[in-house]
Amino acid sequence: MKCPACKGSTLQTIHLESHLKAAHCPACEGKWITADDYWHWLEQHGDTLPEKEPEGIPIKAADQQQAKLCPDCQRIMLRYKVGHGLNFRLDQCGSCNGIWFDANEWEALKQRNLHDEVHLIFSAPWQSQIRKDEARQLLEGIYAQTFQTDYAKVQELKTWLDPHPQRAAILDYLASLDPYSIQRD
């Protein structure tokens, strides 16, 4: 099998984890795991480990941007965002479901205990949550820029106001230019 990233290097069989066979590229340090090998390892692995926050310096993943061909069936692989604070994408073959990990991507996932949830990364709910998280971060940035130094105060007000039993009346009061005037039609 040829490396989907280097295109010329031949992949060599290694054991990435106990009971997890992989194909490794000695040139770019990428790793190929077949779907069967991943599922077999996952069955042997036991319970899913809880996600961890990064300890120390996070592992930097290569995340090569070019499209890759599956080393097994030669079809174009699809790219999926990992999310959860990891800014790289995994490549998966839509035909045979094998997975390509660029250099250090497996290690970065393992550092966060996400290596036993790789199959979930390719799911619609996981990808939908990533889009929601990205939209939330974008809006938070817009609000922070808009409110600037008052942003913490606005957040504190919102935290107090949201559960308040008179929330609607308070919002009406705040929205009115002159809450003490009587409006006539």
Half-sphere exposure of 17 (CA within 13 A, CB side): 16
Q: Is 37 in the same domain as 114?
A: yes
C-alpha span between 100 and 98 (Å, rounded) = 7
d(CA 24, CA 86): 22
The answer on 139 and 112 residing in a single domain is: no
Query: Is 58 within a domain?
Result: yes
Residues 28 and 72 in one domain: yes
| 29 is a domain residue | yes
Residues 42 and 79 in one domain: yes
Kind plus residue range of the DSSP H or E element containing 91: strand 86-93
Statement to judge: residues 45 and 98 lie in one domain: yes
32 C-beta neighbours (distance < 10 Å), count = 26
The tens digit of pLDDT for each residue in 138-167 reads 999 999 999 999 999 999 999 999 999 999
Same-domain check for residues 53 and 103: yes
Considering only 14-18, 25-29, 48-52, 92-96, which range has the smallest mean pLDDT? 48-52
Q: In the listed set 77, 104, 122, which residue is the last one of a domain according to the structure?
A: 122
86, 108 contact by CB (below 8 A): yes
Residue 62 has what pLDDT?
A: 73
Q: Are residues 88 and 16 in the same domain?
A: yes
What range defines the domain where residue 78 resides? 12-122
Distance CA 48, CA 119 (A): 12
Q: Are 143 and 137 in contact (CB under 8 A)?
A: no
Q: Does the residue 100 lie in any domain?
A: yes
Quick check: is 53 in a domain?
A: yes
